[in-house]
Structure 1
Amino acid sequence: MLAETICSAVSAAGLGIAAVTAYRKRFLAATRIAAYSLVPVGLVLTGVVDWLADVVFKPTVWLGFGLLALAWLLFMITRAVERRGGGTRKERRAARAASKEGAVAPGASSPSLTSGTPPLTSGTGASAAPGRGKKPKQESGDDFSDIEAILKKHGL
């Protein structure tokens, strides 16, 4: 009963504001305000307000919402574990079987074509850390020639 009274008061106030707005010659805004103010009374007359009041004040409904939230949380946890752990059990089993046969796993990268050790530069000796020597001048010149060709193509 209290909810119906509150909704009726809100609608009456909204219609009053709409009347004042229409008096100020803002008919479009007044019509929009009147439409919004009729919504609470419409909800009362259709029974939605009673249904919402029953939902809010019943502990069994809140228990149901809690169980739905728990189910959603469990779904999200399993998705996170699947993404982190490499997929579903079937995908892991297929990857394990493929690795036993000597094939490359579906998510693996292609093998490297180099031997894995960079060539030693002249004068550095074997004590130098791999990959820290200076690059020969030819390689850096090739890189810049590509950039120069692009700049010439665009007239710069």
Structure 2
Amino acid sequence: MLAETICSAVSAAGLGIAAITAYRKRFLTATRIAAYALVPVGLVMTGVVEWVSDIAFKPSVWLGFGLLAVAWLLFMTTRAVERRSGTTRKERRAARAAERGAAVGPAASSPSLTSGAGAGATAPRAQGGSGKKPRQAAEPGDDFSDIEAILKKHGL
């Protein structure tokens, strides 16, 4: 009952302010103020105010909100533990499938770019037929050696 009275008073005050604003020839602003002023009365008439006051003063409703908060806390705790372990649900699911033998091995699923042992035998001939061994992998201090080799190969 008190909430309805307060909402009615707020609406009446808002409509009064809208009337004063319209008297000052600011009709667009007055219309906007009147629209805001009618909202509390509309909420009272639709029963929303009564519903909210019933929620605010019932202990069972607050227990329900408490249970929702506990559930949210449990979800967030499991997510934090999952992130600390470094695995995701997809990774764990894939690991379980691999344990059962249902997953395909990574070597079988990725396409091969070489044709096996024959590619290593043709590499020296592809470099110009000199019979030299192909250049070894770059040393840790020589980061751009592979790039230099590519540029030399193309004559740049």
> Normalising TM by the smaller chain, what interval?
0.5 to 0.7
Pairs within 5 Å for 1:77-88 = 77-79=77-79, 84-87=86-89
Name segments (4+ residues, structure 1) moved above 6 Å: none
TM-score, reference length from structure 2: 0.62
The change in CA–CA distance for 1:47 and 1:135 in structure 2 (over 3 A counts) is closer
**Structure 1 residues 135, 54: CA separation in 2 closer, same or farther (over 3 Å shift)?**
closer
CA shift, 1:31, in A, is: 1.1
Percent identical pairs in the alignment equals 61
Counterpart of 2:4 in structure 1 is: 4
TM superposition shift of 1:72: 2.9
CA distance in 1, matches of 2:143, 2:46: 81
Aligned counterpart, 2:71: 71
Choose from 130, 139, 142 the match for 1:133.
142
Q: Distance in 2 between matches of 1:72 and 1:5?
A: 37
Task: Using the TM superposition, name which of 52-61 and 76-85 deviates more.
Answer: 76-85
**CA spacing shift, 1:44–1:136, aligned 2, 3 Å:** closer
Indicate how the Cα distance of structure 1 residues 12 and 110 shifts in structure 2: closer, same or farther if over 3 A, else same: farther
SS at match of 1:118: coil
In the alignment, structure 2 segments of 5+ residues that lack a partner are: 115-135
Does the CA-based 8 Å contact 1:118-1:131 persist in structure 2?
no
Distance across 1 between alignment mates of 2:78 and 2:62: 24
User: What SS class does the counterpart of residue 85 from structure 1 fall into?
Assistant: coil
Give matches, 1:1-156, under 5 Å. 1-79=1-79, 84-87=86-89, 90-97=93-100, 103-104=105-106, 118-119=137-138, 130-133=139-142, 135-136=144-145, 139=148, 142=151
TM-score where L is the length of structure 1: 0.62
SS in 2 for 1:131: coil
Work out the CA distance in 2 between the residues paired with 1:51 and 1:134: 71
**Number of equivalences:** 127
Change (3 A) 1:94 1:47: same
In structure 2, C-alpha distance between the alignment counterparts of 1:31 and 1:2, rounded to whole Å:
28
Q: Is the partner of 1:133 in helix, strand or coil?
A: coil
